[in-house]
Amino acid sequence: MNSFTEENYIKSIYHLSKDGNQAVNTNSIAEQTSTKASSVTDMIKKLAEKGLINYVKYQGVTLTPKGYSLAVGIIRKHRLWEVFLVEKLQFKWDEVHDIAEQLEHIKSDTLVDRLADFLGNPKADPHGDLIPDKEGKFQSKDLIRISKMEAGDTGIISGVNEHSPKFLQYLEKSGLVLGKKIAVIEVIEFDGSVILLMENKEITISREAAKNILILA
């Protein structure tokens, strides 16, 4: 049985390794988990001992298959609970993350399966993040940032790259929510801000915002 702490480290390592690919260094784990590098060294020794990560001193860590499937399982639970909170309990998309951080550690395989069924086996959470299936497979989508689009390009808002309540509330207020169709009218050369057309209205967003909104072409 893994502690919440261990699970949070594994999840951090997963996210930092860009979904399980590259090696992750000690300092970045420390930052992600709000701990110190020395604490991380202690913990990664323990996780390596448990067979969840590959660890060579000074070389950073990678997830083993066992660690990877643990991470994906936690992420599945996190995202399913977020769907539950939004779809069934009327939470807003900017309110669900902290509660899901708690719920993701509830242990019961049956519960996860039943919850997924209850929700209609959703493929994405309220932020457009993909929900892996029971076997840990993601049904990958090809999303691009608005900041990579050019005048004339069109698409549908399908995800975000930044999950802070502040940003999500801003999008909500501006009507830039998942499912909306947008077209890029112009990219301002000076500062990279982008003028969009959405529902026959022009909306200007900063380059920073444009980098964090994901579009399905």
Cβ neighbours of residue 211 under 8 Å, at least 6 residues apart?
145, 146, 147, 161
Sign of torsion over alpha carbons 103, 108, 114, 117: positive
Smallest CA-to-CA distance from 212 within 166, 133, 134, 145 is with 145
Q: How many chain residues touch a copy of itself (CB under 8 A)?
A: 18
Binding a copy of itself by CB under 8 A: which of 85, 171, 194, 214?
Answer: 85
Binding a copy of itself by CB under 8 A: which of 21, 110, 140, 200?
Answer: 110
Question: Which CB atom, from 40 or from 80, has the smaller least distance to Mn ion?
Answer: 80
Helix (H) or strand (E) holding 103: helix 97-103
Q: Does residue 26 interact with DNA by CB under 7 A? A: yes
The least distance separating DNA from the CB of residue 35, rounded to whole angstroms, comes to 3
Binding DNA by CB under 7 A: which of 19, 20, 32, 37?
Answer: 37
Q: Does residue 123 interact with DNA by CB under 7 A? A: no
Binding a copy of itself by CB under 8 A: which of 91, 138, 167, 170?
Answer: 91
Q: Does residue 34 interact with a copy of itself by CB under 8 A? A: no
Binding a copy of itself by CB under 8 A: which of 56, 111, 151, 188?
Answer: 111
Distance CA 9, CA 84 (A): 25
Write out the E strands in the chain.
53-55, 61-63, 143-145, 154-160, 181-187, 194-198, 201-205, 213-216
Listed ranges 27-35, 112-120, 124-132, 207-215: which one lies at the site for a copy of itself (CB under 8 A):
112-120
Instruction: Give the distance, in angstroms, between the CA of residue 121 and the centroid of all CA atoms in the same chain.
Output: 18
The least distance separating a copy of itself from the CB of residue 98, rounded to whole angstroms, comes to 8
The least distance separating DNA from the CB of residue 42, rounded to whole angstroms, comes to 4
Region at 136 (left for phi over 0; alpha for psi -120 to 50; beta for the rest): left
Q: Site residues (CB under 7 A) for DNA?
A: 3, 5-6, 25-28, 33-46, 55, 57-58, 60
